[in-house]
Amino acid sequence: MQASETKPIGPGNAQVMNRFELTKRLVAKLPEDAAVIGGIGNTNFDLWMAGRRPQNFYMLGSMGLACPIALGVALAQPQRRVVALEGDGSLLMQLGTLATIAMLKPKNLTLIVMDNAAYQITGGQPTATAVGTDLVTIARGAGIAQSAWAADEEMFDELATQALTKDGPWLIAARIDDKPGTGTTDRDPVVITDRFMRGLGTKK
Amino acid sequence: MASAAPTPSGTHPEARADARADVRLWHDIVRETLKANDVRLVTYVPDNVLKGLIASVHADPFFTAFACTREEEALGIVAGAWMGGMRGILLMQTSGFATLANVLASLPVAFQIPTLMMISERGTLGEFNIGQALVCRTMRPVLTSLAVEHHTLTRLDELEFTVDRSIKQAMATRAPVALILSPLLTGGKVFKA
Ligand SMILES: Cc1ncc(C[n+]2csc(CCOP(=O)(O)OP(=O)(O)O)c2C)c(N)n1
């Protein structure tokens, strides 16, 4: 966190990283029982490729809902750490959920935004973050005080460690490159629900 | 009160001059039935007709109740909570339901998640806002085309049975269900000229 004391980290000076690399770093740090909700497309795909954990939920088609689904899990299981992985386009679609999360202040919830400044999976059309929208500033304004840009991989690790051990809610944003997701998820929703619920201990 | 529009007899105690203290209001019945079925989470985007139900779940510590910014968000929260072991219901207005087709199809229907929905029906039986009247026409066709079980609640004497059985069926068959609160039950929102 020294970096943030010298110069505030924003989308302008944060390093451009890679989603799959960051996802692997995150997964390596997760407590075994932590739940992770992937967003539509690439965040899901890289989560899938970073290792099949039964505590991962891979949503299909409900663009913008990784954070609300994660919030629901976090409310139902306050002892479990819950992480949402979301793209910038998806978060922009459901910005209101930042206010809802700020209002409820779930201690066990972390949101991670992979900001490639584009709707990459639909052809790379730029999102508003390409021309100045700062999702960390928005999150802070919504009331999630513990929101920060990761300056580099090391800082991403530090922020993730904090978020997984101290009281949340947290939002970590990372600028990422335009590499596509590294694989594709299984697309059988009933199997996904079944595995996830067994992973959460809500189905025997 | 003297100039009040006619209200259905027997079904809407709030609107009746002779309402007795021992008559349970529709939202008391709904709240008690949710409780009896261990439905603890209530997410909503408010509606005037839902005011009493919303206030009463907020007043009861059994429930975790809060407003959401959009109905899609509220449905996502209920879906996540159910997978985490907590049953929930989303309260909304007809216009809010109209924003849900994609999420309904791709989340509770596709993933077999029993999200409970209660919709205050605007757009019929005395509607004064043309937008509400028009969008209301999309509600049942959307529910039907996704094969989502739905019931229109019109009578106080059938309310507990319908809500209770619908929750139980949703959970047992792992399917979403929509309970539509008709103005015949609630009195609806009355146009004041
Ligand atoms: C409601 C809805 N609108 C549009 C789409 C089409 N769509 C699918 S993925 C996507 C882009 C997602 O962008 P982002 O979250 O930034 O992730 P990225 O593709 O950049 O990894 C869009 C527009 C959709 N699936 N659902």
CA–CA separation, A9 and A11 (whole Å): 7
Facing residues of B39 across strands? B87
Residue with tokens 């201990």: A201
Q: Is A183 helix (H, G, I), strand (E, B) or coil?
A: coil
Q: What token pair was written down for B179?
A: 């309970």
Facing residues of A175 across strands? A115
Residue A143 has pLDDT above 70, yes or no: yes
Residue A164 has pLDDT above 70, yes or no: yes
* pLDDT in the model for residue B10: 41
Ligand 1, atom 2, lies closest to the CA of: A63
Name the strands in the sheet holding A170-175, side by side, starting at the edge strand that comes first in the sequence: A56-58, A35-38, A82-87, A109-115, A170-175, A147-149
Per residue in A77-132, pLDDT tens?
999 999 999 999 999 999 999 999 999 999 999 999 999 999 999 999 999 999 99
Q: Is the CB of A44 under 6 A from ligand 1?
A: no
> Tell me, what CATH number does B118's domain have?
3.40.50.970
Q: Does B45 touch chain A (CB under 8 A)?
A: no
**Domain assignment of residue B7, yes or no:** no
**Domain assignment of residue B12, yes or no:** no
Ligand 1, atom 18, lies closest to the CA of: A120
Closest CA to A118 of A74, A87, A75: A87
Q: What token pair was written down for B86?
A: 């907590």
Residue A5 has pLDDT above 70, yes or no: no
C-alpha dist (Å) from residue B151 to A186, B75, B158, B163: 34, 19, 11, 9
**Domain assignment of residue B18, yes or no:** no
Average pLDDT over residues B136-140: 98
Number of domains composing chain B: 1
**Domain assignment of residue B74, yes or no:** yes
Name the strands in the sheet holding B116-120, side by side, starting at the edge strand that comes first in the sequence: B64-67, B39-44, B87-93, B116-120, B177-181, B149-153
Q: Is B97 helix (H, G, I), strand (E, B) or coil?
A: helix
Per residue in B25-81, pLDDT tens?
999 999 999 999 999 999 999 999 999 999 999 999 999 999 999 999 999 999 999
Q: Is the CB of A60 under 6 A from ligand 1?
A: no
Print the domain residue range for B44.
Answer: 26-141+155-186
Q: Is A37 helix (H, G, I), strand (E, B) or coil?
A: strand
**Domain assignment of residue B32, yes or no:** yes
**Domain assignment of residue B79, yes or no:** yes
What is the A89 CA–ligand 1 centroid distance (Å)?
A: 6
* Contact present, A131 and A73 (Cβ < 8 Å): no
Q: Is A176 helix (H, G, I), strand (E, B) or coil?
A: strand
CA–CA separation, B111 and A118 (whole Å): 28
Average pLDDT over residues B145-164: 98
**Domain assignment of residue B108, yes or no:** yes
Q: Euclidean distance between the first and final Cα of chain B, in Å?
A: 15
Q: Is the peptide bond before A11 cis (omega within 30 degrees of 0)?
A: no
Instruction: Work out the minimum CA distance from B36 to partner chain A, whole angstroms.
Output: 18
Q: What token pair was written down for B12?
A: 């809407």
* Contact present, B128 and B117 (Cβ < 8 Å): no
Instruction: Considering only CA atoms, give the Rg of chain A.
Output: 15
**Domain assignment of residue B17, yes or no:** no
On chain B, the residues whose CB falls within 8 A of the CB of A37 are 80
Name the residue facing B76 among A65, A104, A202 (closest C-beta). Answer: A65
CB-based burial, B75-97: b 16+ in 10 Å, e otherwise: bbbbbbbbbbebbbbbbbbbbbb
pLDDT > 90 in chain A, percent? 95
Q: State which ligand 1 atom lies nearest to the alpha carbon of A118.
A: 20
Q: State which ligand 1 atom lies nearest to the alpha carbon of A39.
A: 15
Q: Which residue of B has its CA nearest to A190?
A: B111
Q: Does B38 touch chain A (CB under 8 A)?
A: no
CA–CA separation, A198 and B52 (whole Å): 38
- The overall average pLDDT reported for chain A is 96
Q: Which of A19, A90, A176 to mutate to test the pocket of ligand 1 (most atoms within 8 A of CB)?
A: A90
Q: Which domains does chain A possess?
A: 19-199 (3.40.50.970)
CA–CA separation, A176 and A18 (whole Å): 5
Closest CA to A54 of A198, A187, A184: A198
* pLDDT in the model for residue B192: 75
- Other Cβ atoms closer than 10 A to A201: 14
Selected residue of B40, B73, B99, B174 to mutate for chain A interface (largest A Cβ count, 10 A): B73
- Cα B61 from chain centre: 20
- The overall average pLDDT reported for chain B is 91
Q: What token pair was written down for A157?
A: 């690790």
Q: What is the widest separation between alpha-carbon atoms in chain A?
A: 51
CA–CA separation, A26 and A29 (whole Å): 5
* pLDDT in the model for residue B5: 45
Residue contacts between A and B (CB atoms, under 8 Å): 119
pTM for this model (two decimals): 0.94
